[in-house]
Chain A
Amino acid sequence: MSSIIPIEHSLILAFLLFFIGAAGVLIRRNLITVLMSIELMLNSANLLFVAASRQVGNVDGQVMMSFVVVIAACEAAIGLAMVIAIFRRYGNIKTEFLRALRG
């Protein structure tokens, strides 16, 4: 049991991944990159779940993680479909063109 990675390491990694993802969502202008960044954020959450599950000795976190992976897959599929639809409609996938909700 002593050879396992301490929980702090996973925590730090998860935080890093999360903030990289968040920064990607906020900064990048390409929709594909934005989608990838969102995946990154989801995966950081997954990492936390797994780490916590291991720490507590309870499989609930791992169950949750597999849910998230499935949902993330769906989300990626739908997201990419939408990106393609947007590309077809506007001819590019830059976020600054998607401002129809402006008040």
Chain B
Amino acid sequence: MLLPWIHSHIASLTIFTPVLVALLVLLCPSLAIAKWVALLGACGCFLESVHIWHYFVPGHGLQFTESYPWMPEWGIQYFVGVDGISLLLIMLSTFLTCLLVVGAWNFEARGQKTFLALLLFLESGMLGALMAFDLVFFYVCWEIMLIPMYFIIGVWGGKNRVYATTKFVLYTVFGSLLMLVAAICLYLLHKKEFGVYSTNLLDLYRLSGLPASAQFWLFCAFALAFAIKVPLWPFHTWLPHAHTEAPTTGSVILAGVLLKMGTYGLLRFAIPLFPAVFIDFAPLLSTLGVIGIIYGALVAWQQPDAKKMVAYSSVSHLGFVVVGSCAVLHSMISPEALTGAVYQMINHGVSTGMLFFLVGVLYDRRHTRMLEDFGGLAQPMPWFAVLLIIATLGSVGLPGTGGFVGEFLILLGTFQSSPTIAILASLGVLLGAVYMLTLCRKVLFGPITHKENTSLPDVTGREALVLVPLALLVVGMGVFPNFFLDQVRPSIDHLAKTYSEYRLERTELPPLCCKRGDE
């Protein structure tokens, strides 16, 4: 009896499990229990997302939908569902949260219970934003994500944390308030065209009679909100501060999932809602993306601080995602590039998350992140060296890692629409190797220049528990990309081919007993 009920409410369960567990964590009498509760909760949420993955039927549009009236007099619903574009990101969020709870296990700071609760709360926000198909619910989740992040950086961050977190929140809110205005505008336009109020995204996709000037401004507002979140050059200045000041967990979740919200929003909202303006803006966006790729890589190269280097590398990597999303070719987006963009979001989450975690491992031992304080660490910490090299390779996109598949597909698709952009972007592949190998060399190789480094302990079991799954994922995503892509390919192709009159259909709940692939 229970299983069918779970099956039919799996989307909501996945969204709300973490927040309920977060409350439990706060109520726990002791920290030891709280940690286990948090871990169980995160793992439970991950299992729920595995359930979604397992029963997801590729090519069946929007699945696992649930809708309940929320504010019916205004046409606002609670409406969630899963499709191919969000599926991988959902998996990534739940997976990373599990690892992060383990990662924050011995987080030696006050208020660890609160910290774990905030982390789980954040997970709910992310999952809600990823599954929301109602504009208002999306907006609520989008803003809810900010609150835990504000505290995670502001309370447990580094020396300059208040400045960093204030900047992060204000910058992001600035963009999202514009988005709110645009959303309200869209809502009114829907009333004008169809005579009813609705914030249901599937209804809004049907809007056809938007005046060109209105589309222009609406697109600008949405795109700006997402561009700040991505962050697209030149809106990236909050990122290095936020990353350097955030605790390791915060950096991982920020790079791993939160940044993807920007590119996800671009794919989910900005492109299909305003296709006509998007065509005009695509060259601009991909130019900014390319600038970001090269600029981020160049700036990362000379950073003395390992974490800042990884932070700027995010600007570069997400530039690839934006370029891939904007490869417009003959009134369709290049499906190769779009697939690459979706895949690259996941890769970046995994490999950069891993890099941030590795930097955290160093910081825990030496309480510094300056490259000049390290060198020759491959000798005392051989397993750390192996893991750092794997993460580096994933980040530079070496074939056999997921990064290659993503970058290759993006460049391949972009080359078909605009060779210049693709060639410039492929410079980023070279520059990426420049700064990442510099990082590796300065940390791992050469003679040991500081006495403290000679006896650093290698990766502990708990750290390995976090890092090894990530390393396996980096390699696995490169060796078996089709395992991941088969699930999501139809949705991506559908968006790529029909984005100018994008329709998404709700489908029946996939039957519980039927194995996927039988269709």
A contacts B: CB pair < 8 Å:
no
